[in-house]
Amino acid sequence: MGMLRHNKGRLFRTFLVLLALEGSPCRAQSGGAPPPPHPRSPLASPKKTSPALELLDLLGKIRRAQAKARQKAKDFEREKKALEEEIRALQKRTGREKEELARLREEIRDRRKKEQQARQRAKSLESSLGAAARRGAKIRKNHSRLPRPLGNPAAPAPPSPELLQVPAFLARVFLGLEEAAGRARAVEARRKKVLSQGKVTYRDYLRLGGVVTLWRSLDGKEAGWIDKKTGKEVPFPPEIRDRASRGIASAVDILSRKKAPQVSLLPFPLLPLQEKEEKR
């Protein structure tokens, strides 16, 4: 057994020596084997390197891979920053567009509100215009019933002796008072202190819009009207003075009790004369 083991050891050592000689240059030059192929030939076997060289080669590959990774990371960071800048710009533009959209919506709401107010105003004006047209038709109807038009001062006075004693302007005022003076806002009654014949006395004044102003004394003995051109008080003729004084007193009494009566309800002195003339 010991001999066999010794022979195995010798055989193993011989195998190692032969294996070493197989790759040595001496073996190639002895002529026992063909010459090795050219290094660039496809038949050439790869060079055998040591583990240290393989490790260095691996480290170089790792460094090159790391450099490429760092470059890619830098490129990625650059692209990321560019995208972030673009995102911020888009956010700013979106914010401005939202503000503009909110402003436009507010303008649209304001315009719709103004249009609604304008439509309501137009409806109100149409209603007022219709009411004014109806009042105008009524006034024209009443005006057509007058003995003569108010806007024609040159028209002849009615053939009444009593009316001929009154100025034509004042006669036209009484005959068309409903149209000329308007409603109660044009009628006003006041009591004023005046100096007459060296004495201080009180008088009632009845203003019929901008048409005429009538006056009477408290005892009813004097009555008349105020001339616009001269501003002087002109007395009524004696034939109608008492009746005019009573009419002015009644009108003043109505105005003192009711602030907004209709003009047609006030008792004016010459209206009975108009009825008398119409009966003729």
- Residues across the chain: 280
What is the mean predicted confidence (pLDDT) over 167-187?
A: 51
Alpha carbons 63 and 67: distance in angstroms, whole number: 6
Other CB atoms within 10 A of residue 191 CB: 11
Examine the pLDDT at 183 and tell me if it is beyond 50. no
- DSSP of 203-268: EEEEEETTTEEEEEETTSS-EEEE-TTT--EEEPPHHHHHHHHHHHHHHHHHHHH-SS--GGGS--
Output the CA–CA distances (angstroms, integers) from residue 189 to 210, 218, 219, 226, 256, in the order listed.
13, 13, 17, 14, 8
Tell me, what DSSP letter sits at residue 36?
A: P
Return mean pLDDT, the chain: 71
Other CB atoms within 10 A of residue 177 CB: 23
- Segment 196-232, tens digit of pLDDT: 777 888 888 888 766 778 888 888 888 888 888 888 8
Phi, psi of 70 (to 5 degrees): -65, -40
- Segment 112-135, tens digit of pLDDT: 999 999 999 888 888 888 887 787
Predicted local confidence at residue 129, as pLDDT: 80
When mean pLDDT is compared across 48-57, 98-107, 215-224, the lowest value belongs to 48-57
Token code pair at residue 228? 């616009």
Examine the pLDDT at 139 and tell me if it is beyond 60. yes
Q: How confident is the model at residue 9 (pLDDT cuts 50, 70, 90)?
A: low
- Segment 229-273, tens digit of pLDDT: 888 888 888 888 888 888 888 777 777 766 554 444 454 544 333
